[in-house]
Structure 1
Amino acid sequence: MADKPQASKKLGRKAYEEELFRLQGELVKLQEWVRAEGRRVVVIFEGRDAAGKGGTIKRVAEYLNPRVTRIVALQAPTERERTQWYFQRYVEHLPSAGTIVLFDRSWYNRAGVERVMGFCTHEEYTRFLHQCPIFERLLVEDGILLRKYWFSVSDAEQERRFRARLADPMRRWKLSEIDLESIARWEEYSRAKDEMLIHTHIPEAPWYDVESEDKRRARINMITHLLSTIPYREVERPTLKLRRRPPGTGYRRPPRLETFVPDTTAGL
Structure 2
Amino acid sequence: MIKSSTKLRFLLITPVILLLVFMVEEGVTSLGVDKRQEVKYRTSFGRCPSRAAGTLTLQLIKSFEKNKSLKDVKTKIVKDKLDEKHFISSYKIKYDPLKKYLHFTYECPEPLMKVQIYKEGGLESYEAILVDNGKLFDPTYEVLLRTEDKLNYDLPFLALPVGDMDEKIQKDITTLVAGMPLSFRKKLAEVIINDDKELTIILSLNNHPSSVFMGPDEWALKMTKLAKIVNYMELKKKIPAIINLTNSKKVVVKFNDKF
In the superposition, the TM-score normalised over structure 2's length comes to 0.21
As a proportion of its length, which structure holds more helix? 1
Q: Which has the higher contact order (CA 8 A, sep 6+)?
A: 1
Q: Which has the higher strand share?
A: 2
TM-score after normalising by structure 1:
0.20
**Greater radius of gyration (CA):** 2
